[in-house]
Amino acid sequence: MLNERIRELRKRKGFTQEELAVRLHVVRQTVSKWEKGVSVPDASTLQSVAEVLEVSVQELLGADAKQPESQNEIAAQLSRINEQMAVRNRRSVIIWKTVSIVLAVALIFSAAWLVLRLQTANQQENRQESVMLPDTVELSDIHIDGDKNRLVCSFVPSIGNLDLEYSVTLSCHATDVPDKTADAEYRNGICTAVFENADLFEYIDYSIVLSIRDGKETRNTVVVTSMSVERDGFSWSSPWN
């Protein structure tokens, strides 16, 4: 390209852009634009460039270019070169805009991913700090209600947190009866477990055990040591009463 040949021949002659500009009676910025491919010299200026660099106009225009016989032919060839540079520059602008958009989108997603990771890490750290389970869980305000088909057990645990998982297991002292487990709801400091269709046997002892999990650790605490179903309700005893 013309811009590359001007730069190469200038350096071969040992001229700086400023020195070449002085010899051509133009400003240094004009030479810089030629060499960057932003603009091309006009026909008369190109002839001056060829004279200063001691080459032919054809050598400046390129080996494939026809030897111009007049300024009009030089101007026509410069016009074609100018159009080629304009097309190339437009493509470069499109490519850089596309690259910039892709990089911007990538940076946005990277920043969002980093923020999400930091938020998740902070949440996990806060959760670990606030949900550490004590070695012993104490209970108070234990209530047992219902009938032999439905059992409602409520109590107040010494540790309460919405991030914890609570479940209650109803275990029959008779070995041939399987245990029943129900998720417990924690609300306003009260933990409540409901066993629907419990099918409890009268005058057979049951125990009730609370399990608290934080995802890594589990604490089991006996809520009721012995409970039996009677015609008028339940009789039970707890280590916390």
167, β-bridge pairs? 183, 211
Model-wide pTM > 0.85: no
Q: How far apart are CA 235 and CA 101, in angstroms?
A: 73
Apex CA 203: angle with CA 198 and CA 208, to 5°? Answer: 50
Top pLDDT among 149 and 128 is at: 149
What 3-state class would DSSP assign to 46?
A: helix
pLDDT of residue 67: 57
CA-closest candidate to residue 78, choices 24, 42, 34, 38: 42
Taking a C-beta distance cutoff of 8 angstroms, is the pair 10, 53 a contact?
A: yes
User: What average pLDDT does this structure show over 135-163?
Assistant: 90
Where residue 208 falls among pLDDT bands split at 50, 70, 90?
A: very high
Tokens 């245990």 -> residue: 179
Q: Look at the chain and count its residues.
A: 241
Q: What are the tens digits of pLDDT across the range 82-116? A: 676 666 777 777 888 888 888 888 889 888 888 88
Residue 34: how many other CB atoms lie within 10 Å: 25
Quick one: which H or E segment has residue 169? strand 165-172
